[in-house]
Amino acid sequence: MIQVENIQKSFGEAHILKGFSTRFVKGKTNLIIGTSGSGKTVFLKCLLGLYTPNKGKILYDGVSYNSLEEQEQRDLRQKMGMVFQGSALFDSMTVFENVRFPLEMFTKQSKLEMDHRVEAVLKRVNLDGSENKLPSEISGGMQKRVAIARAIVTNPKYLFCDEPNSGLDPKTAIVIDNLIKELTEEYNITTVINTHDMNSVMEIGEKIVFLKEGFLEWEGDKTQIFQAENQAVIDFVYSSNLFKKVRAAQLKGL
C-alpha cells in the first residue's frame, strides 16, 4: 500500500501539488485522473522518487522514502516497476535483452535462471516468439507489453504506469488495461496508473483519484464516478459525446 500525506510540490513560484492525502491499495488498480496541468505527472514522479515533495510524506508499506538513506532509497526503487507512456524500451537491445536488463542489473541470478524468468514473463504477456526482435520491429501494443514485462520481471511491489494505452487503438488499449489488472491481482502489486482515458476508468478503475489544479478533488471507484456530484468530475467524465449520452440517460432514469 502507498500512503500519501499532505503532499506539496512547487517549482519556484509554481505550486503544482497543493497539499492532499490519499492511499493506493495493494492488489488493486489505482488510477490518477485529471485534465492536463492538474499535476498528475508531477504526482507520479513524486511517487517514483524522481521528485522530492516540498512538504508531506509518501509511505511505501509504512516506510517514508525521504527518511531513507541513499542506498535504501535505491533498494526501494528496485521494488518499483514503471511503464512509460512511450514504452521507453532500449532501442539497441532486443525484446529479450530489454526484459532481462533489470535482472542483470539488480540480481545475482545465473544466466540460466534469468533466461527462464524472462521466457516466463514474456509468455505471460503473450510475447513468446518475439524475443529476438528489436523494439523498432514490433507494434506499439507489443512495445507496451514488453515494457510491462520489463516492469514486472523483478517481481516489484509497486507498479507505476504513465498513460499506458496512449497511442493505441481502442481494442489494444483494452487488452493492455486488462493485462495490467490481471498482473496486479496475480502478483498482488500496488499499481498506480496515470491516465485521462475514460475507457480505462470504466475497465480497471478500482480506486480513482481525481486531481484538479494540484488538489485532490474527488476519490472513489468506477461505479461511484458516474454518481459523483462534483462539477469538475462531471465535466471531466462527460466531456465526450458518448458519456454525455450516458449521463443524459441516467438523468432521465433510463
Partner 1 sequence: MRYLHQIGAYFLMLKRVFGRMTKPKILRKLIFKEVDDLIIGSLGIVAFISFFIGAVVAIQTALNLTNPFIPKELIGFASRQSVILEFSPTFVSVIMAGKVGSFITSSIGTMRVTEQIDALEVMGINSINYLVFPKIIAMLLYPFIIAVSMFLGILGGYVAGVQGGFVTSEQFIAGLTDDFTPFHVIYSFIKTIIFAFLLATIPSFHGYYMKGGALEVGKASTVSFVWTTVFIIVVNYLITQMLLS
Residues 6+ away with beta carbon under 8 Å from 96: 118, 122, 131, 132
Q: Strand 29-34 and strand 207-212: pairing? A: parallel
Q: Pattern of binders to partner 1 over 88-127, x per CB under 8 A?
A: xxxxx---------x-xxx---------------------
User: Of 25, 50, 120, 249, which lies in the binding site for partner 1, with binding defined by CB under 8 A?
Assistant: 50
To 10 degrees, what angle do helices 170-187 and 140-152 make? 10
Pick out residues in 182-221 that bind partner 1 (CB under 8 A). Answer: none
Closest approach of partner 1 to the CB of residue 91, in Å = 7
- 106/166 Cα distance (integer angstroms): 29
CA distances from 52 to 42, 140, 247 (A): 10, 32, 40
Q: Does 137 bind partner 1 (CB under 8 A)?
A: no
Q: Which of residues 5-24 bind partner 1 (CB under 8 A)?
A: none
CB nearer to partner 1: pick between 18 and 77: 77
Q: For partner 1, which is the closer residue by CB, 48 or 234? A: 48
Q: Which of 16, 58, 80, 198 binds partner 1 (CB under 8 A)?
A: 80
Residues of this chain that bind partner 1 (CB under 8 A): 48, 50, 73-75, 77-78, 80, 82, 84-86, 88-92, 102, 104-106
